[in-house]
Amino acid sequence: MPKTLGIITEYDPYHKGHAYFLEEAKKLTGADRTIAVMSGSFVQRGEPAMLDKYFRAEAAVRNGVDLVIELPFAYGATGPENFARGGIRILSGIGVVDALAFGSESASIEPMKDLAQALALESPSLSKKITQELAKGIAFPAARHAAVRDELGEEAADMLIKPNDILAIEYLKQLYLIEAETTRRGLICFHPGPGAKGEPLLNAVFAVKRKGPSPDGIDSEVGFAGAGAIRRLLREGRLGEAFAFMTDQTTELIQHRIHEYQPEISVWEMRTEHDLRIDMSFCSRTGCLGMVFPEAIYAPFQYASLSMGPRASSAIYTAAEGVENRLFEGAMRAKNYHELLTLVKSKRFTESRIRRLVLHTTLRLSKADMRRAMSERICAKILAFNDKGAEILKELRETDAAARKVVLYQNMRVQEDELSLSPAMIELSVRADKLYQMIVDGNLTNYRYSPEPVIV
């Protein structure tokens, strides 16, 4: 029986660091097949993905992933805890995953498990210390770090500093919580989701030590750059430098995408001129070169924010503690997206929180919307697959539909009955996809309600 690896990712874009991780994860787990749960039109950092989800899914499959499943918007772009929760619930819920792997700066599984369990339980003492730290006017990540340091020691707290470690701990925390049962005494009994062979996935979790720079950095010595750095190079028109940090498969796909949107830039030119630079001054609003950059969301956000006003904005999902008032003031004063972030962020409100609130305001994503979506069974779209991925889908079709905790779908119209129990989750993903299409093209002419997956 083939062994299946599950990973959670964004691939915006897929680069050499991702290729290294995938190769190492397959070695560690002995997996023959890989399923990736990937964010959709908007990503965890609260911004539009630079490349659309079908493009990124195809790149993933061409680089060695066998099946790419979309993480629904309700989970994918609403914060790290929801991101981890959705990804873990999908991978554990489909019932064919034998092992999970993630990147980590420390790659220390057992200490991370201990910390994840402590955060899942959140003792009254730890909870009280977090509340006390928040009362000092600092952001939640800093408050939690300080409380953990005081409660569990410096070593545990250090795992809440680096971005990959933080996500890794969230994944492990969700494995502890995913099927938690509350007893009559109020204690939590943990029953982690089973893998394909009935073993708890907590016993089959692997950490790949991160190699290279931070997500926004460049390490020319090892030949790796973080996804944020690659996006910045592309935004500045430094194509040759950006291509040097991407795999051949991703580079080829992006070159054809650029040529499609800007025919005067030939694929041959991009392949042969290793220091190629282009003027990006024309790319001020939407969809230039077939790519989307964060500032493209500012105009629709500004209209949404000013039309709602601060009182109505308090109903937005991530609005709390008066941050919506700061955002409304910023929308009236800021000339662009980056100026907005600078005006609104503070010691209490981190830039990542502001980015997500900007997105949620633009979509008019309310707390009630999220309550409904999060109470529903997860429905996740299949984005791309190859022959091995087709084998996995065949296995899934042969399982008892009534026993499935997650519904995977290829076409919303064909599987309308299965999806009828999750209307809020589906509606939020459709709303996000329409906004993304508007950002790319300025209209919905090319919008498709339910495109077919990419078959590689």
Evaluate whether 287 touches 440 at the Cβ level (below 8 Å): yes
What global pTM score does this model have? 0.94
More confident position, 286 or 76: 76
Evaluate whether 280 touches 274 at the Cβ level (below 8 Å): no
378-385 vs 224-225, strand pairing mode: unpaired
Residue 451 tokens read as: 């495109």
The rounded distance, in Å, linking the Cα atoms of 39 and 8 is 8
Kindly report, residue by residue over 199-213, the tens digit of the pLDDT.
667 789 999 999 888
- The whole-number pLDDT of residue 185 equals 39
Q: What is the mean pLDDT of the chain?
A: 90
224-225 vs 406-409, strand pairing mode: unpaired
> Which residue carries 């969809």 as its tokens?
287
The domain ranges of the chain are 232-294, 307-367
The rounded distance, in Å, linking the Cα atoms of 320 and 130 is 17
Helical (H) or strand (E) element with 256: helix 248-261
Angle at 73 between CA 437 and CA 313, to 5 degrees: 85
- The whole-number pLDDT of residue 53 equals 97
User: What is the average pLDDT across 446-455?
Assistant: 89
- The whole-number pLDDT of residue 214 equals 82
Reported confidence tier of residue 273, pLDDT bands at 50, 70, 90? confident
Collapsed DSSP state (helix, strand, coil) of residue 64: coil
Close Cβ partners of 241 (under 8 Å, ≥ 6 residues apart): 233, 275
**Which amino acid makes up residue 329?**
E
Reported confidence tier of residue 144, pLDDT bands at 50, 70, 90? very high
- The whole-number pLDDT of residue 181 equals 41
More confident position, 187 or 391: 391
Residue 430 tokens read as: 């459709």
Evaluate whether 444 touches 437 at the Cβ level (below 8 Å): yes
- The whole-number pLDDT of residue 222 equals 84
Collapsed DSSP state (helix, strand, coil) of residue 209: strand
3-state percent helix, strand, coil for the chain, nearest multiple of 5: 50, 10, 35
- The whole-number pLDDT of residue 198 equals 59
pLDDT at 132 over 50: yes
User: What is the average pLDDT across 133-153?
Assistant: 93
Reported confidence tier of residue 401, pLDDT bands at 50, 70, 90? low
In this structure, the number of other CB atoms found within 10 A of the CB of residue 116 comes to 23
- The whole-number pLDDT of residue 255 equals 94
> Which residue carries 């700066």 as its tokens?
105
Q: How far is CA 396 from CA 29, 175, 196, 310, in A?
A: 21, 22, 11, 47
